[in-house]
Structure 1
């Protein structure tokens, strides 16, 4: 029996097993097919970007490792993403940082960026059936320092306000071009290394900066604000904490971004979903894997990711939650990192789609907590992997570990030749 026949046979058995607990497998597959994941550009080149501004300043961001073959120009980023797309099913998005513009070798400072610097990206994305998301970039610049939008120095602060305003305007043009809202994420590293006595002052400044930035309303982009627990060399105080952005997002009705690496390791990001849905219009997810700190390891199919996906499905919030990835591992094959991360995220959501939710809700409503726990445990052993293999088969991508030699081939023929 061929592998295709085995997959099809296993799938039919899985359908029967799931039907016995009230799960419609075909509906789950349709939901997975519609799940659009925003692939982050910065895994291709270790968050370097394509500016030509000379010496860079303190970054507030760090990629570790020196695995050969990182993308060195826009063409190589596009080629790498195109390769990734051949190994993942579904239709997805592409997430750009402002430092990845096509500046034509010219020195264009961040308060001067324009939509024209991203025209090539828009045209490429349209050709590849991708939608683009965007990010302002406050790191890796001589004016970054410890404080950007929260800086008491008006000259520094105004520079970053202008950069962020321009990033929003670029996002609006991207949204118009693709006839789909461009989601623009605002994250800054602002903070202090040691004990801070004027915490309120910097947060007041940040609030004023945000009010200025968001003064212009747009129809073709959506604003997201992202918190962080701490930054490298900024360990004691973060201006844009989760509490700050949660309050600002609820007050101003902005999308709050939940990065799974930006919280204490014992915090449940999944538990935050239902609260945010009550008070903010939508949620943006940056799915990552923290290891002891915000280390942005490649997403794997761990319990945290599965529980996050399940909670979104349980809350019937697929139309209000946007899913993006945010990791940058420079220690392993970068294409492989993408494929592992996307497929792991898809597998997590598939398990959410296949959960016997109707029966579980009934047990809970009736106070049948033994039965609820028992079914939750037994559901873990249901043949979701047979459904996953069928999803790959119908999307014409590799089944199981078959993508490994395909990624190795690309490394041999393409990335290994980059000096």
Structure 2
């Protein structure tokens, strides 16, 4: 099979070369792109600090496929299996509730040593770590407010939690030699129409200023803020809207996180990238698939995923954009979900990189829209799959759908044994 793949690659390389596309160079660049794979797909966003706590903050996971990870060690085992089927070296995105410790710290008491097993594992695997404070599924967030809470004591609890999370992120970055992105998302909002939209946002503004007051080395930690349009329990009003965080991020030089499912049902994030890139030092993406708004389905190589990839490639934003995944599907094999979503994201980036971007830009500049449209369409049927197969082969991961046999075997031998 390897000879067949190499021969197909050779032929495809020659086709792309006719348009000035160097496939060998592209695969070198692709191998350097790190996708931040979210740990919470593996256990349905339960974590290990408060496993008996009901999910809240608009978080909902559907499905009951067997084999969810029950401990940090099982979760790491599952992630290792997934990464063995994904080309490249990537990162793992942790939420604060995924501490691996015999201690029982509350969220405002978490410290780097509570995550030391994750750091040791990441070093061993050659992975980076990203981080998130967990401002949901906790007794102090049950009324739907955290950093914008009117009660000063509760608000301080969440401020202290976010401060602790930033220090942990900086620890990850220092230990692993890969910058950690620490992203803040809160569920704060009202189910029905509020009278005062301003006061909660003023409190959030003050809380964020306090959270970010401690200077941290940007080589180790980068801060991000994530908006949302509405959520279950906050249908009428969300404190941390896109406009709020866009203003805050630009003013305070924080990464603005765009989640594909956090906007209007027919709104996409791909068209926002070129605008925000002009006013920010970087962006954070949460690539998801909002079949019905923020439903967080497993990422596939659909039109919007491709458009996101094209925008990143065409405008040379890959060096300043941090690409993370955010979906949770308990109706299918959770390890397979990671593999499908991550491979689909990488494939979309590869397809975008294989386009003759400079040629298309030149045609557009000259007003030759016929050539622009014709080539854009013709390249959709170019032998991208041959390049992808070769990349998987050279990366030492399963080619085409053969990874599914490995995933099924892991399910039989490991996941189904968990009961």
Structure 2 unaligned segments of length 5 or more: list them: none
- 1:31 and 1:237, CA in 2 relative to 1: closer, same or farther beyond 3 A? same
Whether 2:133 is the aligned partner of 1:136: answer yes
Mapped to 2, the partners of 1:56 and 1:381 lie a distance apart of 47
Q: Scaled by the length of structure 2, what TM-score is found?
A: 0.97
Q: What is the aligned partner in structure 2 of residue 265 from structure 1?
A: 265
Deviation at 1:380, TM superposition (A): 0.5
Distance 2:269 2:234 in 1: 23
For 1:148 and 1:55, the matched residues in 2 are separated by 17
Which residue of structure 2 lines up, in the alignment, with residue 26 of structure 1?
24
SS at match of 1:240: coil
- Aligned partners of 1:54 and 1:10: how far apart in 2? 52
Map of 2:117 onto structure 1: 120
Following the alignment from structure 2 to structure 1, what is the Cα–Cα distance between the partners of residues 384 and 35? 20
| Deviation per residue, 1:357-388 (Å, 9 max, x gap) | 11101101101111111111111111111100
The aligned counterpart of 1:188 is 186
Q: Structure 1 residue 229 and structure 2 residue 229: aligned? A: yes
Q: Residues 338-377 of structure 1 correspond to what in structure 2 (within 5 A)? A: 338-377=338-377
Are positions 1:250 and 2:247 aligned together? Answer: no
The answer to whether the Cα contact below 8 Å between 2:55 and 2:137 also exists between their aligned partners in 1 is yes
- Preserved contact between residue 57 and residue 232 of structure 2 (Cα < 8 Å): no
- Aligned pair count reads 416
Moved over 6 A (4+): none
Residues 60 and 140 in structure 1, CA contact (< 8 A), matched pair in contact too: no
- Per the alignment, in what secondary structure is the counterpart of residue 278 of structure 1? coil
* Equivalent in the alignment of 1:159: 157
Q: Report if aligned partners of 1:52, 1:107 keep a CA contact under 8 Å in 2.
A: no
Q: 3-state SS of the aligned residue for 2:68?
A: coil
DSSP 3-state at the match of 1:143: helix
Q: How far has the Cα of 1:265 moved from its partner?
A: 3.0
Cα displacement string for residues 160-217 of structure 1 (whole angstroms, at most 9, x for unaligned residues): 0000000011111111111222110100011110111211111111001000100111
Indicate if the aligned counterparts of 2:57 and 2:233 stay in contact, CA closer than 8 A: no
Q: Contact (CA 8 Å) 1:53, 1:108: kept in 2 or not?
A: no
TM-score under structure 1 length normalisation = 0.97
1:208-219 equivalences under 5 Å are: 208-219=206-217
C-alpha distance in structure 2 between counterparts of 1:188 and 1:268, whole Å: 21
Pair 368,157 (structure 1): closer, same or farther in 2 beyond 3 Å: same
Once the two structures are superposed, the pairs formed by residues 284-299 of structure 1 within 5 Å of their partners are: 284-299=284-299
Query: Pick from 81, 106, 110: which aligns with 2:107?
Result: 110
Q: Deviations over 1:76-102 (max 9, x none)?
A: 001000100110110100110000002
Alignment pair present for 1:89 and 2:55: no
Deviations 1:235-264 (A, max 9, x none): 111111111100100110100011111112
In 1, distance between residues paired with 2:277 and 2:161? 30
Helix, strand or coil at the partner of 1:286: strand
Q: Matched residues in 2 for 1:57 and 1:84: separation?
A: 25
* Contact 1:187–1:227, Cα closer than 8 Å, also in 2: yes
Q: Does residue 1:41 correspond to 2:73, yes or no?
A: no
Q: Does the 8 A contact of 1:57 with 1:143 survive in 2?
A: no
Contact 2:46–2:55 under 8 Å retained in 1:
no
Contact 1:228/1:262 (<8 A) preserved: yes
Which of 135, 148, 151 is equivalent to 1:150?
Answer: 148
CA distance in 2: counterparts of 1:276 and 1:217, whole angstroms: 24
Change (3 A) 1:17 1:226: same
Query: Residues 304, 53 of structure 1: CA spacing in aligned structure 2 closer, same or farther, 3 A cutoff?
Result: closer
Three-state SS of the structure 2 residue aligned to 1:222 is strand
Residue 258 of structure 1 aligns to a residue whose secondary structure is: strand
CA distance in 1, matches of 2:358, 2:295: 37
Is 1:98 matched up with 2:96? yes
Q: CA deviation at 1:58?
A: 3.5
Corresponding residue for residue 275 of structure 1 = 275
Shift of 1:54: 5.9
Q: Secondary structure at the match of 1:95?
A: strand
CA distance in 2, matches of 1:409, 1:379: 37
Distance in 1, matches of 2:252 and 2:146, equals: 21
CA distance in 2, matches of 1:364, 1:117: 54
Partner SS for 2:139: coil
Give the 3-state SS of the residue equivalent to 2:140 in structure 1: coil
CA distance in 1, matches of 2:56, 2:300: 30
1:53 and 1:109 in contact (8 A); partners too = no
For residues 268 and 60 of structure 1, the distance between their equivalents in structure 2, rounded to whole angstroms, comes to 21
Q: Secondary structure at the match of 1:42?
A: helix
